[in-house]
Structure 1
Amino acid sequence: MNSAEKAVTQIFIATDQQDWERLEVIFANQVELDYSSMNGNPATTLAPQEITSAWKGILPGFTHTHHQLGNMISTIKDNKAEVFCYGTATHFLEDERGNVWTVVGTYHFELALISDEWKVSKMKFNFKYQDGNTSLPQKAIENVTK
């Protein structure tokens, strides 16, 4: 695994550990975040703190999250890198309609080498499917706001 792939992997480890400070330093100062294939919202450019603020509004509401990456393909040229990978996100929260919500897709990342560290400048999720209890995200949001 090269250093650009390690940076991508660290995004998901920090997310599952809810280590928001660590997560923010993996991102560049501005990040194009694109989940449009899943939620229909257009891609947007955000500061790292805006990303973690949004994720803090849902992810701590789950009992556990588990992001698993695989099949990484990367290209590095000078101070730019691209990483493609498969991704599966499993979210656990006890509920009478089912305890698990799983989302599956691929990711495309763009990174820039800044002060000898790879920083993610673009994160695009390409939704394939979801399975399980699709009402769990709303319940997780409600748990955070309690």
Structure 2
Amino acid sequence: MQTQRMIEALQEVFIAADERDWERCRAALADKVFLDYSSLSGIPAQELSAADIVTSWMGFLPRFKATHHQLGNFSVQDDGESAIVKCYGTATHFFPTASGQNVWAVVGTYEAKLARWKDGWKVTALRFNLRYQDGNLALAEIAAVE
């Protein structure tokens, strides 16, 4: 039962982001989160406030007409008060273009650390490990100007 709640806590971050429910997304994160997307962005890993993370995503994800994060193949290690959840992840970003190259897909794995709070599990660290990208790799730039 707790394992499923841990998985759902991680999923909530991405489902809420795809639905642009920023309050729900923020609520799934601890106040401070060690975020590492360096394999995708080149930006060094750092501890950020949940508010700063969500604000950044609010400026990026709505550029697209739709995004879809899909997680699977979960493994969970927990000690009752904290947990590490690992999984595969795919993020597709859709924005219609004149060329018909409308999708940018990012594929990799996630490793999340979670902590038990009085109201459930929250993400305290999130690392994305890029495996590959496919589709229109310029889609984020195109969506930003249109």
TM category (shorter chain) comes to: over 0.9
CA distance in 2, matches of 1:23, 1:64: 16
Aligned letter for 1:7? A
Distance in 1, Cα, partners of 2:57 & 2:119: 27
- Shift >2 Å, 4+ stretches: 139-143
Rounded Cα–Cα distance in structure 1 between residues aligned with 2:144 and 2:52: 17
> What's 1:80 paired with?
82
Distance in 2 between residues matched to 1:100 and 1:141, nearest whole Å: 14
Question: How far did 1:96 drift?
Answer: 2.6
- The share of aligned pairs that are identical, in percent, is 46
- The number of residues matched between the two structures is 143
Distance in 1 (alpha carbons) for counterparts of 2:55 and 2:92: 20
After TM superposition, give the deviation of residue 141 of structure 1 in Å.
Answer: 2.8
Distance 2:102 2:130 in 1: 21
Task: Determine whether 1:117 maps to 2:120.
Answer: yes
Q: What is the aligned partner in structure 1 of residue 63 from structure 2? A: 61
Please list every run of 5 or more consecutive structure 1 residues that lacks an aligned counterpart in the other structure.
none
Match of 1:49 among 51, 56, 65: 51
For 1:13-24, what aligned pairs fall within 5 Å after superposition? 13-24=15-26
Instruction: Write the distance in 2 (CA, Å) between the matches of 1:11 and 1:127.
Output: 18
State the Cα RMSD in Å.
1.1
Whether 1:132 and 2:135 are equivalent positions in the alignment is: yes
The TM-score, its normalising length taken from structure 2, stands at: 0.94
